[in-house]
Amino acid sequence: MSLNAEQTGSSDLVSRVPSGPVAEMWDKHKFDLKLIAPTNKRKFTIIVVGTGLAGASAAASLAEQGYNVHAVTIHDSPRRAHSIAAQGGINAAKNYQNDGDSIHRLFYDTVKGGDFRSREANVYRLAQCSTSIIDQCVAQGVPFAREYGGTLANRTFGGVQVSRTFYARGQTGQQLLLGAYGSLMRQVGLGKVTLHSRREMLDVVTVDGVCRGIVMRNLVTGAIESLAGHAVLLCTGGYGNAYYLSTNAKGCNVTAAWRAHRRGAYFANPCFTQIHPTCIPVTGDHQSKLTLMSESLRNDGRVWVPKTPGDKRAPNTIPEADRDYYLENKYKGFGNMVPRDVASRNAKQQCDAGRGVGTSGKAVYLDFAEAIKRLGQKTIEEKYGNLFHMYHKITDEDPYQVPMRIYPAIHYTMGGLWVDYNLQSTLKGLFVLGEANFSDHGANRLGASALMQGLADGYFVVPYTVADHLATSKLPPVTTDSREFKAAVEEASFRTKQLLGIQGRRSADSFHRELGHTMWDYCGMSRNAAGLEKAIGKIRELRAEFWTNVKVLGHDHELNQNLEYAGRVADFLEFGELLATDALTRNESCGGHFREEFQEDGEALRDDANFCHVAAWQFQGDNKPSVLHKEPLTFDEVHLTKRSYRE
């Protein structure tokens, strides 16, 4: 496939995908990219916002090469980024299991898993980089699971038929992040990275049309500060918290991405959100977040519901004959390991048909009895001990004794800021990495590939592509004393004061909850045009109310968590409308985006004739409709077919 300037529908969207066979593109492109001589690197300053897998790996690699790096995070320590919570594992096409895996197969699985809404070239590169990621992490001392012979162990994730997932018990993200964090802190110790913790990015600053810095709030002192440099990397994670309840950490936000969007970075496919099938169900209206039970559990856990609706017997007393292992029955080849969107949709269908379990009826069973019988409790404990522990803590039920109750929840966002093959956004000089960009997962992400993408972006892609930007762009010296920086700082302070000045009656949290309900009800697991229109109306009203009725206490010159939160909610209220608009505009079902109007046997029905494109939205101003740009997608290697997991 080739997608260059001439072929994109809009002259704005230059995807910079190299020409030639997909397997050779990245090597060729790396050769074509301009380099910066080793001794010149120290003359450049790069600002990395976010220290998750994407940010920490990028900051560390760039510093290792000799650039001066600023690393910015809202947390007190880079190690707390939400990547730490990833449980299940990371994919790599190592084929250590000799089970037929290859770079091409990982590429194929990911394109198909994404329901043909990602760029082939990007996905291929991701698969290529995957093997080096594992090598790098092992060298850093990441204690991956091992076999008795001392070699690396693997497990399987949904939507694939090989074992290519590397893991460290149920805390792979933690171990990978701590590895990247170690590399980052080493550079901090060496003086190549300046760490700015407890800082929230509030704006990007452009000078002569090129992104040259950021504005941030010092969360401890409240001071509005700024940083100037030669390139800015946004690695600020996903926007799942637009739904209020999600598996994301409470601090995850769209603020950084949204403020960059307002300055000219296009937002791509915001409606592609992933609903994870195995989360602990909601238990009341006090709930502040949802907890994921890793997909890896489906390696051994079997999903079922009682055959008869309303069967209230205790799960262990329901005989085999009265159980419906609906995934195993419907998807013979993949069984419980179907991709997330499929598993989620099926769980919803079962619950809608009245066969849901638990007090709310909004849950299905994930049962380990058979696996415990087959492998013994000890083996199960070794594989998933911390997840079982977590489940027990939250629900007060012992999953070794009774099946887990699980239900789908918002988990990941495939959409994000639009980037070209170099991971550069439409705002020159602004690169976007990790979950914050839209790049590699199309309409549905396969398990264990977000960690892979974050690290590929940071360790192996951006060090090359940033160099090209630095080498080929005009970057006159700028300081934070310049007019542009002062104006941006001024604007950010003004907004902060504005929030404090409203003195209304409702807390930021109540607005966020209400937004979340709207998003989940109308823009969640299944969507339809009427509902989406309703949602857009509701969000607009809520946003208007927010700016007249929110109550934020305290001052701007101190640690003020309520003020931080209000700012993030304000951005979600703007962003939510764009998400719903995108969902309304995409008149097809694909991956995680399920439009009720477009289905066949309860499975998603794509419309390749009209929607085989990336939808990239351009901001036009407050309360003005955004403009849609389309980047057409072509599939030369993996042919566009109906995505089916039934055989």
Partner 1 sequence: MSAMLDLTLKIWRQDGPKTRGAFKTYHLKGISTEMSFLEMLDILNEQLIQLGEEPVAFDHDCREGICGMCSLMINGQAHGPETKTTTCQLHMRRFHNHDTIVIEPWRARAFPVIRDLVVDRTAFDRIQAVGGFVSINVGNAPDGNSVPVPKVNADKALDAAVCIGCGACVAACKNASATLFVGAKVSQFALLPQGQAERVQRVQKMVAQMDKEGFGSCTNTSECEAACPAGISVEMISRMNLEFLKATVVGAT
From candidates 55, 315, 339, 429, binder to ligand FAD by CB under 6 A: 55
Position 142 contacts ligand FAD (CB under 6 A): no
621 binds, among partner 1, ligand FAD, none (CB under 5 to 8 A by kind): none
From candidates 264, 358, 361, 463, binder to partner 1 by CB under 8 A: 463
State the Cα–Cα distance between residues 120 and 124, nearest whole angstrom: 6
Position 211 contacts ligand FAD (CB under 6 A): no
Report the DSSP pairing between strands 267-268 and 416-417: antiparallel
135 binds, among ligand FAD, partner 1, none (CB under 5 to 8 A by kind): partner 1
State the Cα–Cα distance between residues 620 and 256, nearest whole angstrom: 18
64 binds, among ligand FAD, partner 1, none (CB under 5 to 8 A by kind): partner 1
Secondary structure of residue 405 in the 3-state scheme:
strand
Position 136 contacts ligand FAD (CB under 6 A): no
Position 362 contacts partner 1 (CB under 8 A): no
Output the smallest distance, CB 165 to ligand FAD, in A. Answer: 8
201 binds, among partner 1, ligand FAD, none (CB under 5 to 8 A by kind): ligand FAD
- Partnered with residue 412 across adjacent β-strands are 274
Give how many residues touch ligand FAD by CB under 6 A: 46
Residue range at the interface with ligand FAD (CB under 6 A); choices 4-12, 34-42, 51-59, 540-548: 51-59
Instruction: Quote the tokens at residue 307.
Output: 């055959």
Angle between helices 508-523 and 561-585 (to 10 degrees): 20
From candidates 44, 144, 511, 575, binder to partner 1 by CB under 8 A: 144
Give how many residues touch partner 1 by CB under 8 A: 81
**Which residues make Cβ contacts (< 8 Å) with residue 49, sequence separation at least 6?**
55, 72, 73, 201, 214, 232, 233, 234, 235, 236, 256
CA-nearest of 339, 274, 269, 270 to 112 is 339
Yes or no: say if 162 and 156 are a contact pair by the CB < 8 Å rule.
yes
Can you tell me which residue has the tokens 């985006």? 593
CA-nearest of 75, 79, 72 to 228 is 72
Position 211 contacts partner 1 (CB under 8 A): no
Tell which positions 146-205 bind partner 1, by CB under 8 A.
146-152, 168-169, 171, 174-175, 178, 181-183, 185-186, 188-189, 195, 197
Yes or no: say if 527 and 520 are a contact pair by the CB < 8 Å rule.
no
Position 379 contacts partner 1 (CB under 8 A): no
User: Which runs of E-coded beta strand occur in 183-234?
Assistant: 193-196, 199-207, 210-218, 224-228, 231-234
Specify the long-range contacts of residues 3-6, CB closer than 8 Å, at least 24 apart.
3/119, 3/121, 3/631, 3/632, 3/633, 3/634
Position 485 contacts partner 1 (CB under 8 A): no
From candidates 109, 115, 120, 200, binder to ligand FAD by CB under 6 A: 200
Residue range at the interface with ligand FAD (CB under 6 A); choices 263-271, 282-290, 389-397, 432-440: 432-440
Position 223 contacts ligand FAD (CB under 6 A): no
287 binds, among partner 1, ligand FAD, none (CB under 5 to 8 A by kind): partner 1
Output the smallest distance, CB 369 to partner 1, in A. Answer: 24
**Which amino acid appears at position 474 of this protein?**
K
State the Cα–Cα distance between residues 582 and 454, nearest whole angstrom: 25
Tell which positions 215-274 bind partner 1, by CB under 8 A.
220, 249-251
169 is catalytic: no
Nearest 5°: phi and psi at 521?
Answer: -70, -40
From candidates 8, 58, 88, 531, binder to ligand FAD by CB under 6 A: 88
State the Cα–Cα distance between residues 509 and 512, nearest whole angstrom: 5
Position 436 contacts ligand FAD (CB under 6 A): yes
Tell which positions 549-578 bind partner 1, by CB under 8 A.
551, 553-554, 558-559, 561-562
Instruction: Name the residues annotated as catalytic.
Output: 340
Positions in the binding site for ligand FAD (CB under 6 A): 49-55, 72-75, 81-83, 85-90, 172-173, 200-201, 235-238, 247-248, 252-253, 255-256, 292, 294, 411-412, 434-436, 448-451, 454
